[in-house]
Chain A
Amino acid sequence: MDAILIEGLTKKFRPGWPGLPSVIALAGLSLSVRQGEIYGFLGPNGAGKTVTLKILLGLMRPTSGSAELLGKPAGDVEVRRRIGFLPESPYFYDYLTAEEFLSFYGHLAGLDRAHVGRRVTQLLDLVGLTEARTRQLREFSKGMLQRVGLAQALIHDPELVILDEPMSGLDPIGRKQVRDLILSLRDQGKTVFFSTHIIPDVEMICDRVGILVKGKLLATGRVDDLVSHGHTQSVEIVCEGIDAETVPDIRDASTRVLRQGRQCLVVLPGPKRLEEVLAAIRACGGTLVSVTPQKGSLEELFFKQQAGPTNEQAERKA
């Protein structure tokens, strides 16, 4: 059983005023998230990430299509006992203290009194808010709210954690803590599904990603696969003692040659002719300083996707 299974989901918003066009937020989205994995849901602003998550949590009803969480249809009340959710830029009851706030959600999740107390202490510690536990949320900074929001999502020890842009509003240390937290959730066997438009976060921790553009999933798979298959990886060679520009073999095989003092930088479009170039360098009496394959980043892929899928990518989707 998949942790999340979405099939042909569409969501159309009727216009707020007659005559205006309606908005199609989701246009037949299908995806699945396996149990125990960290799945990054990547997409530019307005792609439909938040709408998808709202449908999963039963906050919105889809126009058509279906979504299942842990084998139950989205909107099922009981299954939410096993799910934790952090909405985008969360707003909470600001008249509560951090402790009261977490207890409230603990009780709503159906935990008994003693259990709630224990979990509140644990989670305040986990998100680093133990000191602020008796302060009202109205005094909290944006990052502190994000942290207490995360704690709220985890108070009942859910199997499936759904987070809408969990890193937004956090400082670099906070981002790292959230990444570590997500990784530790996976170590405990939980499934994490989170949306973001920040690519390095995804590259660092996700098992799989899905790229959502204009309400459609344009690519999905392991980060490595998407990155290496999506486009060619270039290789950078640094050598000493020769003028690489003057060697025909090197010049032909490279896309760029740069001289910097005694060193030359040679950029190859791919690893295919690497051996050939290395041999040519040695043959001319040059010394090799370094060979660095340039791993393409998800970012390049992301921008390419937004520009419109190429045939190759469309095929892979199929």
Chain B
Amino acid sequence: MAQYFHSVTLDKERCKGCTNCIKRCPTEAIRVRAGKAKIINERCIDCGECIRVCPYHAKKAITDPFDVIFSFKYKVALPAPSLYGQFKNIYDINVILTGLKRLGFDDVFEVAKAAEVVTLATKHLIAGNKVQKPAISSACPVIIRLIEVKYPNLIDNVVPIKSPMEVAARMAKRIISKNTGLPQKEIGVFFITPCAAKMTSTKAPMGSDCSFVDGVISMSEVYYKMIHDINKITHPENLSTAGMKGISWAKSGGESFALGDERAIAVDGIHNVIKVLEEMEDDKISDIDYVELQACTGGCVGGPLTVENNFIAKNRIMRIARMAPNIDLVTRFDDLCNWDISWTNPITYKPILNLDNDMVKAMQKMKEMENIYNSLPGLDCGSCGAPSCRALAEDIVRGFATETDCIFKLREQVRMLAREMMELEGRMPPPFRKDE
């Protein structure tokens, strides 16, 4: 798949070319060009901030249409645990899973279950000092992408384990293939996603060559399909096997709770995450073993494709988790450690900040950039289509913009031009000049 597949895309019709998204993008990946926002592929980390802030709903997440499931003989839903927090007055996971099956799935496999396996593997890595501390969770693809492009020094801190979604896909295919006798390729596994980033990570997998997920379906789409009939389910099937720890992964702090390590911190919201990564990069965070980082406020319950307010969803998740069995993971590690859950390909630095590959040239550009920046008004108004005067100066030296993209610069030039014209106009041909 293309290196720069992105789930976050622009609906050109709706875009008004305003400055909301360019200002809020954490990697300065958006510019306004010809009246429309333009996403710079190399820089986009699919965090979904622009989806949240766009007042015209012009940013959207591309996911697979629900009907893709029907191209497989045996269809399995992989619900992210955040789905459990979406439904008012429903605290029984079996009702939700039964509701999912009624949409046309033959079976369900809870991602919460796979999350327990990831927790277990993470515990072993930390205890065995097999990952640099503080270890960084690899569950949220936005964070991995952010580290790849901006924090190369932290690559070794990332837990090299596949995400719960990928682990779930592998487990589901194998277990169901064994139970039904169907070949794995006839079993379609479909992730019910709270975000765009998970979709991107199936198209451009991190830490492995290929994704086992056959399709990614938006949580809000599934929600609206389920909402009509879910209250009519009086005799739900007994489908849920996830424990309290796996379910807790839906919200910020859940991974740390599951890990049971008191030297763990949970950080949510992309701008908070950036602050912590900056500090980690400078070795300022000591006496911490594990750092749970999630791009969305509140964790996955705050994902851009969720429906419920993330605070309410978080509360519901906590109540649901409390009713679930508190499975002791450690005793069952042996059954589970056989799943291929480790990364096969290490992630690598993909710099986006460098002005040039040649340092001398980069230095020249930097000097030029400083000069340009000093001549700009410093208002960060965004009218030029760049998020700040500094970003415009950078775009200019990179050759993506010109100085007159700044309206103040343009006005200056127009004024100069007008003055020249006045002067020219004042010049009469020699026969008509007053004296000389």
Do the two chains bind? Answer: no
